């Protein structure tokens, strides 16, 4: 059964008042099903008999008078004194007390504010001129690492991002863990991508590292070649020199980092080898499909070339990791031993 809903408060009240007013039902019976109280129904019926539908309109319950309201002549007195001598609320209170008029200074302040007699102070607006530095492509790169939004296969992955400030070109790499090895490998990739023959120089505070905790965090870097990274560390020698009593602790932490880096590289190499084995299996399947005339010779040649390139790339990565190992720790270690 369709029920017409009331559009306003008058229609809602008429739904309950009209049956009672037309003597169709009794008020005591309506009270049993009405969500409103009996006193409200009695008041609505009386208002409808007296004024009709206008009497059912909602009226404000705000009192028309306030026994504690400041008299009008006192307000006018305060406004005249304010316009005459521009005194503050507290001084106006003292002047009124001399005339035996007792009123709180906060009340005087409210009256002054309502009448728009408050002081308007001139505020000097300072305009700053910002000069945007002109950068060349590859001169300033921002690097950041964060979680991938969702887990893949109940596993958390990390996204390494590099953004060129000048061109806003970006490079993204997803890794299965956040480690020093992945950070350095990503930095090498970024340096190769943004290679430039122009002026290459490093800036102070370009690389921030917390060596004591064994954690390296690359925040903002200028374009640096591999050898210039080590030169930059040498130039910062006075800033990173360590007391002799802390050298053993730092070396101990570096040993832990080296051991962890070796474990990470071992796991990474195993993953690369598993990918290489999958490529070999796919090559065999591709050959079988070609011999069975499932694919054409053009498709076979194209897919085979892609897989061969992928196999060569995987083998180069494996040889590079196995040959270099954790050589990136050697400049830091030698610098600490020199100090």
Per the structure, the complete domain to which residue 42 belongs is given by 9-56
Asked if residue 33 belongs to a domain, the reply is: yes
Torsion sign (Cα): 294, 298, 301, 302: negative
Specify the pLDDT at position 250: 65
> 234 and 146 in one domain?
yes
Select from 114, 131, 164 the last residue of a domain.
114
DSSP for 282-301? HHHHHHHHHHTTSS-HHHHH
Asked if residue 128 belongs to a domain, the reply is: no
Mean pLDDT of each 10-residue bin along the chain, 339 residues long? 71 90 89 89 91 87 83 91 90 92 92 87 74 74 83 82 83 84 83 54 32 33 44 50 58 71 78 85 81 80 84 83 62 58
Taking the C-alpha atoms of residue 22 and residue 16, their distance in angstroms, rounded to an integer, is 11
Taking the C-alpha atoms of residue 216 and residue 8, their distance in angstroms, rounded to an integer, is 67
> 304 and 287 in one domain?
yes
In 165-206 the beta strands, taken as DSSP E runs, fall at 170-175
Specify the pLDDT at position 135: 76
Specify the pLDDT at position 105: 92
Asked if residue 132 belongs to a domain, the reply is: no
Per the CB < 8 A criterion, the answer to whether 200 and 225 are in contact is yes
> 103 and 40 in one domain?
no
Asked if residue 127 belongs to a domain, the reply is: no
Asked if residue 157 belongs to a domain, the reply is: yes
Select from 240, 268, 289 the last residue of a domain.
240
> 96 and 34 in one domain?
no
> 216 and 196 in one domain?
yes
> 261 and 221 in one domain?
no
> 227 and 185 in one domain?
yes
Length of the chain: 339
Specify the pLDDT at position 76: 92
Asked if residue 315 belongs to a domain, the reply is: yes
Specify the pLDDT at position 109: 92
Per the CB < 8 A criterion, the answer to whether 329 and 261 are in contact is yes
Place of tokens 């800033």: 239
DSSP for 94-115? HHHHHTT----HHHHHHHHHHT
Q: What domain count does the chain have? A: 4
> 236 and 150 in one domain?
yes
Angle of helix 38-51 relative to helix 9-21, nearest 10 degrees, comes to 90
3-class secondary-structure state, position 56: helix
> 80 and 25 in one domain?
no
State phi, psi for 33 to the nearest 5 degrees: -115, -10
CA angle (333 as vertex; 332, 339 as ends), nearest 5: 90
DSSP for 133-176? PP--TTTEEEEEEEE-SS-SSS---EEEEEEETTT--EEEEEES
Place of tokens 């990274």: 229
> 188 and 153 in one domain?
yes
Nearest alpha-carbon partner for 81 in 91, 71, 70: 91
3-class secondary-structure state, position 17: helix
Select from 240, 265, 293 the last residue of a domain.
240
Strand partners, 210: 215
CA dist list (Å): 193 to 10, 139, 209, 225, 245: 74, 12, 23, 11, 42
> 85 and 14 in one domain?
no
Specify the pLDDT at position 246: 57
């Amino acid at each position: 059964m369709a029920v017409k809903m009331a559009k306003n408060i008058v229609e809602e009240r008429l739904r309950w008042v009209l049956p009672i007013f037309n003597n169709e039902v009794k008020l005591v019976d309506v009270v049993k099903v009405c969500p409103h109280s009996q006193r409200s129904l009695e008041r609505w019926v009386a208002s409808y008999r007296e004024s009709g539908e206008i009497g059912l309109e909602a009226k404000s319950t705000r009192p028309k008078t306030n026994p504690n309201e400041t008299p009008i002549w006192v307000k006018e007195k305060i406004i005249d004194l304010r316009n005459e001598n521009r005194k503050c609320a507290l001084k106006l209170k003292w002047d009124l007390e001399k005339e035996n008029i007792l009123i709180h200074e906060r009340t005087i302040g409210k009256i002054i504010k309502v009448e728009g007699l408050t002081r308007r102070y001139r505020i000097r607006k300072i305009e700053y001129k910002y000069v945007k530095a002109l950068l060349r492509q590859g001169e300033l790169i921002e690097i950041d690492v964060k979680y991938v939004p969702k887990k893949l296969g109940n596993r958390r992955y990390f996204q390494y991002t590099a953004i060129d400030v000048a061109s806003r070109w970006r490079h993204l790499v997803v890794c299965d863990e956040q480690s020093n090895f992945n950070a350095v490998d990503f930095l090498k990739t970024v340096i190769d991508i943004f290679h430039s023959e122009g002026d290459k120089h490093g800036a102070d505070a370009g690389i921030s590292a917390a060596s004591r905790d064994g954690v390296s965090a690359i925040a903002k870097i200028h374009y640096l070649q591999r050898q210039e990274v080590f030169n930059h560390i040498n130039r910062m020698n006075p800033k990173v020199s360590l007391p002799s009593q802390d050298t053993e602790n730092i070396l101990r932490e570096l040993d832990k980092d080296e051991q962890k880096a070796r474990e990470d590289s071992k796991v990474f190499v195993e993953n690369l080898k598993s990918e290489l084995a999958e490529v070999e299996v796919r090559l065999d399947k591709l050959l079988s499909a070609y011999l069975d005339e499932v694919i054409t010779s053009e498709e076979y040649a194209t897919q085979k070339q892609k897989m061969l390139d992928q196999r060569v790339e995987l083998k180069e990565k494996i040889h590079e990791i196995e040959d270099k190992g954790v050589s990136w720790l050697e400049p830091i270690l030698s610098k600490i031993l020199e100090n």
